Structure 1
């Protein structure tokens, strides 16, 4: 953001000069306010036509006079570009000073002006010393991307009774309203926006509605999926929400641009992962030995994942304390789930079976062989290998790590085990969940029972999990054709 807006001479001439040089949106915003204090915020994202010169203010001489201003650049259209050019031209900043950039309107002639201003002295600990850094409004795009990465991953502070700490905690809890995977994708999207804005010399924060529309249209021209474009729009909305400034993504121009992108999109329906139905799952687990640690773990992952219609993240997060086993089967308390953002908890029951492919038996076998009594259920296993010779020392047991597998590791296990049995299809982390629902549909369970089993919020979502083969098998006209 501009550090200052200075008016030298008539304020009426200054206002007329600005209205003649800025873009229509900025002109409208200036007309809507009578508060000159808001000019700094509004003009920080203005596009000036023709562009303005950038000057470095003269310094005070020993006799009290000032040296003349030094021209740094001509034709600078934005404040963010002026800040970047000023930083590039000024290699060494005097100790105890920082470089500031403002807008000066001298007798109706506007220009960007850079100068050195003293840093604020560091005294006792301020009330907001530990608070999140302020939003870099009007600053270079790189600073915006860095700020968003910092504030979206802000840790919870220790309680000390201070107001500043309470406010910092409020910010941190606010960021935790989004799932970590969502924040990770938002950070990537904001970095992409900042690179694009910097490449076109556009302000990154606040983003202007016409620039956001152009950015989304540029993504569409590159052939990006509409779901990806929607994600980038949501990330920009969240960026401005965190900065506590007006959100440009709700502007009718952006909405209409997205509507046109969707209408012109030539996308095929998203390809779903292949369902690992019970018949396929039996082929996979029968090929896995339960007499070694890795085999026992992978059998338990596959059978338990199917029996509970678990998401891969839910499987990876299971802990021993979450599971109760008795002679009838097992009860699992799911404390965190994508379908339970309020974390109210969900109880899942899995009956004990009669075959060697019983999920409860596979779970008990894995815990017994691994010697796990607490903590994460599914963990990484390292083989005790001699790195130099590549041989396994005789009698050296594998080592079980203390931390839970990642959700990506669960996906890798599913793919690798399906590949070992040469199953055809595109298998992944969702194949177990899809396969369990599809098998239930083939066995005659109705949508309400499947919805209860899969813990989905709507019947419409459950229907999307049922494979085409199951839909054809239960077609009402099958017995009439």
Structure 2
């Protein structure tokens, strides 16, 4: 029996990664169930391919911690993982028992075993679980696991107690940062903890001279200054959650970063290839057939271009946020990078008359998928090769939304399938839409309104060099 299910990162990505590993029966049972509450279901699930089993480090009597240890790489279910953990540990010390949980970080589920203290404490059933205390002075690996756990605290259910209200404060403070930001922070803290462990340094609290050395080491390894700023911010957030003195504000750290910026090369930023209208139509026309995958991908490309959507915005679209009429679509974007207060932004997409009309592509996907609510773009499981004389089953459509990374991969694959040359990603749709608008003569104010950018300076970075040359004031005079 699994002790618990921990999601370290995006809940959407974790669900997608998990659904790819479990059998169809388990997929059906998980429909509508939040992953942290799915331990009873996943305890009997079989995972394909099998999952690794990690033995988590634990505190010793002298205050030190044992390191994490990989027990094995292929366990098909929780029972096999628990048996292996018990064989590996032997008889547990008095007052302890072996516990096995499922941990999902981004797209990597794994079993985790640890020694759990057997406590006989009377706790009221309504008391919410408290987050673990900060592992000050403990092993770097323990610090990394603690940060991953406390940076993904769920909002508790209301019960009128002060304790729950204070836990809600912690959860809401985390939600002040975007999910992608927290995911980047978790990766940065893991990197810091690995570096601290390799040099036998304390990870929490970090010393200012150690943080400065860490950033300097990253600069020597040719890491970008933007990456250094991210790691500094992550370490600041780590100490903020631990409620201890923040070392990143020390003048030594600031001076080190200032020197790194002065010495660093400043190459031109690498931009993803713009998927302009001509290239977009080539990619769409190269999609063969009208199966569910092709219909979904056509809608993703055409709608993503028409709305100049960021890949996270496109992945997060829900059917209830889109109204259809004879003139086209009205989309309410409930959350985006340019709208951190979540006030909502309305986007209009006109109906066209060609086969490349985004409205018609969206309607075709809805008709074929039969979806009436929830996420628009989801995973589609392809059916096996048909058997002669047997009617093939209808392809299964997942319940969770595609991740933003999945959207980027679809764009890349479809552009590659059409033979297009360039470095394409999910951002290529947004960049291509703005570049196409510039080529068609729309001014910066119109493009700013279309792209929902906050400043004209940012919009200018999206305009291709070809557009700048075509609209040069001296073009007709030279």
Matches within 5 A, 1:247-266: 247-266=246-265
Residue 472 of structure 1 corresponds to which residue in structure 2?
Answer: 469
Which among 390, 399, 403 is matched to residue 402 of structure 1?
A: 399
Alpha-carbon offset, residue 184 of structure 1:
1.3
Matches within 5 A, 1:49-448: 83-84=63-64, 123-125=121-123, 130-289=129-288, 291-385=290-384, 394-448=391-445
Alpha-carbon offset, residue 325 of structure 1:
0.7
Partner deviation per Cα, 1:363-414 (whole Å, 9 max, x = no partner): 111111222222221122122205xx99996543322222222211111111
Larger Cα-atom Rg: 1
Question: Unpaired segments of 5 or more residues in structure 1?
Answer: 1-79, 98-118
Distance 1:328 1:260, change over 3 A: same
Measured in 1, the distance between the counterparts of 2:451 and 2:251 equals: 39
Alpha-carbon offset, residue 197 of structure 1:
1.5
Q: What SS does the aligned partner of 2:346 have?
A: strand
Q: What SS does the aligned partner of 1:333 have?
A: strand
Alpha-carbon offset, residue 418 of structure 1:
0.9
Of residues 133-142 and 438-447 in structure 1, the stretch that sits farther from structure 2 once superposed is 133-142
TM-score, length-scaled by structure 2 = 0.73
Q: What SS does the aligned partner of 2:332 have?
A: strand
Alpha-carbon offset, residue 132 of structure 1:
1.7
Q: Is the 8 A contact 2:65 2:138 kept in 1?
A: no
Q: What SS does the aligned partner of 1:84 have?
A: coil
Q: Is the 8 A contact 1:316 1:404 kept in 2?
A: yes
Measured in 2, the distance between the counterparts of 1:145 and 1:413 equals: 32
Q: Is the 8 A contact 1:157 1:169 kept in 2?
A: yes
Alpha-carbon offset, residue 162 of structure 1:
1.8
Q: Is the 8 A contact 1:384 1:392 kept in 2?
A: no
Distance 1:391 1:209, change over 3 A: farther
Alpha-carbon offset, residue 123 of structure 1:
4.4
Distance 1:428 1:356, change over 3 A: same
Measured in 1, the distance between the counterparts of 2:156 and 2:177 equals: 18
Alpha-carbon offset, residue 161 of structure 1:
1.8
TM-score, length-scaled by structure 1 = 0.73
Partner deviation per Cα, 1:160-217 (whole Å, 9 max, x = no partner): 2221111111111111111121111111111111121222222211211111100100
Alpha-carbon offset, residue 85 of structure 1:
8.4
Distance 1:427 1:94, change over 3 A: closer
Question: Unpaired segments of 5 or more residues in structure 2?
Answer: 1-59, 68-90, 97-116
Alpha-carbon offset, residue 121 of structure 1:
8.3
Q: What SS does the aligned partner of 2:294 have?
A: helix
Q: Is the 8 A contact 2:128 2:156 kept in 1?
A: no
Distance 1:129 1:93, change over 3 A: farther
Measured in 2, the distance between the counterparts of 1:211 and 1:390 equals: 64
Alpha-carbon offset, residue 291 of structure 1:
2.6
Residue 87 of structure 2 corresponds to which residue in structure 1?
Answer: none
Alpha-carbon offset, residue 120 of structure 1:
13
Q: Is the 8 A contact 2:65 2:139 kept in 1?
A: no
Measured in 1, the distance between the counterparts of 2:206 and 2:269 equals: 31
Of residues 234-243 and 290-299 in structure 1, the stretch that sits farther from structure 2 once superposed is 290-299
Name the structure, 1 or 2, with higher relative contact order (CA <8 Å, separation 6+): 2
Residue 13 of structure 1 corresponds to which residue in structure 2?
Answer: none
Distance 1:455 1:124, change over 3 A: same
Measured in 2, the distance between the counterparts of 1:129 and 1:382 equals: 38
CA RMSD of aligned residues (A): 2.9
Distance 1:214 1:320, change over 3 A: same
Q: Is the 8 A contact 2:383 2:392 kept in 1?
A: no
Q: Is the 8 A contact 1:141 1:194 kept in 2?
A: yes
